[in-house]
Copies of this chain bind each other. A is one copy, B any other.
């Protein structure tokens, strides 16, 4: 029934011009309420839906935004998408998803493919593999773009991030107050501001409490999860830390499994603290303390900013920083 119903057809049936129908459907002030009503009722009757391609071609508006992220199968990003989608619906927008898998080439390829007018704007959380701000420097001039969570420091752009430094500092202090002296750091997102801020906060907190830094206590994320497992195991055996501060949730599983294999009780022998948006972290109580980023809110804020830009509204801030939450666990409580 909806097949082949276009404004031309509506115009014919109502004996008015195509332009009038178009204006009526867009609720233009030029059209009388009476005519509008006639058009609207017939449109509903015939189940008319505008052809998006035609309207886009003419108006240069796609009613579509793109989300370019490393991966959807990740608690943080899937929650962000949920937030983005919610806002997009409010504005009647559609949401395209692109996963880069931390591959900078795909990131560029996808983003370029969006430049031909497929979307009105883009939300991006950059890949951690390489630094690529030159590319984005020219890109932000071509298309409305909002960065969220994973951003580049040296880039003039609209950014939604979290208080990585502050919360990591607080978390480190928490471990110290729990009596930990040899806190290992599982370093992720090295190439990004978020990763660096977390690591700096860890170091600064140790210094502030007169605890010597020790390079041996730091291990770096590897994309092969077996390697991470081995690294953590090696660390636990060789350096004997009393806590593991995991800066990304990908380190949680190898941490637990390594402790288990070495018969190290969590949290009495080794405490584990991690950035994480896993719901299941609740079950790991009392052994896991988590830093939870407001992923859903980040998605919402990022989308809101983008729509402000699209609607040419003034942004109060070009950079918004949301607060994370440190969820302490029973036995690690002070």
Contact = CB atoms under 8 A, between A and B. Distances in A.
A96 interface: yes
A270 to B, nearest CB: 14
A74 interface: yes
Q: How many copies does the complex hold?
A: 2
A102 to B, nearest CB: 13
Q: Which of A50, A73, A79, A117: most chain B CB closer than 10 A?
A: A73
Contacts of A81: 72-73, 97
Interface of A: 2-3, 49-54, 56-57, 62, 64, 71-75, 78-79, 81-82, 85, 94-99, 112-113, 115-118, 142, 252-253, 256-257, 260, 278-285
B75 A73 contact: yes
B99 A252 contact: no
**Top 5 A-B pairs, shortest CB-CB distance:** A49-B116, A53-B56, A53-B57, A73-B78, A256-B283
Contacts of A279: 253
Contacts of A281: 280
A46 B71 CA distance: 32
A115 B260 CA distance: 53
A96 B95 CA distance: 6
B284 A283 contact: yes
A175 to B, nearest CB: 20
Contacts of A3: 142
B85 A78 contact: no
Contacts of A256: 282-283
A78 B82 contact: no
A41 to B, nearest CB: 18
A50 to B, nearest CB: 7
Nearest to A285: B260
Contacts of A51: 57, 116-117
A94 B281 CA distance: 34
A118 B52 contact: yes
A215 to B, nearest CB: 28
B113 A99 contact: no
A256 to B, nearest CB: 4
Given A81-B72, A94-B118, A113 B53 contact: no
A185 to B, nearest CB: 20
Contact of A99 (B64, B71, B85, B115): B85
Contact of A71 (B52, B74, B82, B118): B82
A203 to B, nearest CB: 28
